[in-house]
Amino acid sequence: MELSRVALEKEAAVNKTSLSAADLQRHMRRSAQALRCTVLKALLGASYRELSKLLAHSPFYRWFCGCEDFGVIRVPGKSTLQDYAHWLDAEAMAEVTGQLARAVSNEEEARRIGLENSIEVTTAWVDTTCVKAMVHFPVDWVLLRDGVRTTIKSIATIRRHGLCRRMPEPESFLSAINAQAMKMSAAGRKAGSKKVRKAALRAMKRISQIVEEHGRRYRNALDKDWKQTDLTRGQVEVILRRLDNVLEKLPEARRQAHERIIGGRPVANADKILSLYEEDIRLVVRGKAGADIEFGNSLFLAETAEGFILDHELRKETSPGDAKWLRERYPIMQQKSGGALCGVITDRGFDSKANREYLAELDHFNGLCPRDPAQLGKRSKNDEAFAAGQRRRAQTEGRIGILQNVFLGGRPRAKGFEHRQMQVTWAVLAHNLWVMARLPWVEDQSEQALAA
């Protein structure tokens, strides 16, 4: 199994020693279980805790995941399942998905893994979308409310575990910030609303400054005198990281809110704080009905005629634009197809003079939808292959919907870009295995012999 091989190479590189035969067998079993459990999670759309319960209840799921089912039933707990989801890093997972793509595109390799025929990868349909992060719409004053809430909850946790410093009742700050937030919401756009909003923001800034001072005192006290509490050092570090993250961003959040609401001055997108909890999300302008602006990371997707996802990339930085992105990914798509790729079909966002010339130099099929409506009409009438490819492009929109809504469950419930990237890669792997399972497979020779 490719996943086992990559995992063994990673562990050997970390330990810098050769593994014993027993360790090799154990690691191969756990790698196989990690693959099957995480794929099953993506197929069911379940949480780690829900999947652990389903494994305990269902003999079929236990059989699929390779769990012991004799005597006492033992299934992986939610923590083990979460570890399985991070069994390999993003680079290693990309190698696994690439190996699978190359295998199914080769006739001999496809038959070796059981497929009746290889998957046709000469043409790819490409599109991009936004993988939304689990954040609310980043209104400036809401960031101040979030910062106060998180800081006060952390202070309350520290006090509950036995470390107190003089301050007003923590819950009073929550009441105060919520009252100002309601004033902001109620101001609307009626006459005099600007004055009301500015007054409310000034009050929110004062509350956040006071809470920030208390938060820093409690943060330093916890770091220094944590042994006076009943917390372990590991638990203390979790609280400290949460406080440090918010306390570091609160001053900039106040400045941003002041600039936009009181000063009436715009803030550059590159300098905006979109979330106090997610750093690597971007503002994605899509210009579509119901999705004019989205907050998350751009996803590049290339699928084959059978719906197999040949290539994908979740971008940490802002997207360079569809046209440039295609030019960057096309050589990688060719590599994953084993050199069989010889054409691409896209919407008009990918069309550019540079891309047309690039495909012409390679002598590959140009299925880029022209930006010029007259040119589009001309090609649709005179080029049947182009017209058929553009009609088929609607299925790629559906493919994106299946991946996002079924295999990712809408928005990935993962914090941090690296975790979202891993979740997307596992979703693509599970999706491709699901597509392969629906293709014709070679009949079992032993079954043929019994039938004869």
**Model confidence at 446, in pLDDT bands (50, 70, 90)?**
very low
Tell whether the model's pLDDT for residue 424 goes beyond 90: yes
Average pLDDT over every residue of 3-8:
54
pLDDT of residue 239: 95
pLDDT of residue 331: 94
Tell whether the model's pLDDT for residue 6 goes beyond 80: no
Question: Contact 5/95 with Cβ under 8 angstroms?
Answer: no
Which of 121, 47, 69, 100 lies closest to 334, judged by CA? Answer: 121
Which of 358, 356, 353 lies closest to 386, judged by CA? Answer: 356
Residue 161, token pair as written in the block: 């575990």
How far is Cα 257 from Cα 273, in angstroms, rounded to an integer?
10
* Strands 291-303 vs 309-314: parallel, antiparallel or unpaired: antiparallel
pLDDT digits (tens, 9 = 90+) for 329-387: 999 999 999 889 999 999 999 999 999 999 999 999 999 999 999 999 999 999 999 99
pLDDT of residue 205: 95
- Its pTM stands at 0.83
Average pLDDT over every residue of 128-143:
87
pLDDT of residue 314: 94
pLDDT of residue 449: 39
Tell whether the model's pLDDT for residue 390 goes beyond 80: yes
Average pLDDT, the chain: 87
Burial class (CB within 10 angstroms; exposed 0-12, middle 13-18, buried 19+) of 64: middle
- Cβ neighbour number for residue 209 with a 10 Å cutoff: 13
First to last CA, the chain: 32
CATH tag for 93-135+279-437 (out of 3.30.420.10, 3.40.50.620, 3.30.590.10, 3.20.10.10): 3.30.420.10
How far is Cα 423 from Cα 414, in angstroms, rounded to an integer?
8
Tell whether the model's pLDDT for residue 322 goes beyond 60: yes
- The per-type count for the chain, helices as H runs and strands as E runs, is 17, 6
Percent of the chain with pLDDT over 70: 92
Tell whether the model's pLDDT for residue 136 goes beyond 50: yes
Q: For the chain, what are the domain ranges?
A: 2-87, 93-135+279-437, 140-271
**Model confidence at 450, in pLDDT bands (50, 70, 90)?**
very low
pLDDT digits (tens, 9 = 90+) for 177-210: 999 999 988 887 777 888 999 999 999 999 999 9
Most confident of 90-94, 375-379, 414-418: 375-379
Tell whether the model's pLDDT for residue 11 goes beyond 50: yes
pLDDT of residue 313: 94
Residue 393, token pair as written in the block: 């492009």
Q: Three-state SS for 340?
A: coil
pLDDT of residue 13: 54
Q: Which residues contact 177 (CB under 8 A, 6 or more apart)?
A: 144, 145, 148, 149, 204, 207, 208, 211
How far is Cα 230 from Cα 142, in angstroms, rounded to an integer?
33
Tell whether the model's pLDDT for residue 272 goes beyond 60: yes
Question: Contact 145/204 with Cβ under 8 angstroms?
Answer: yes
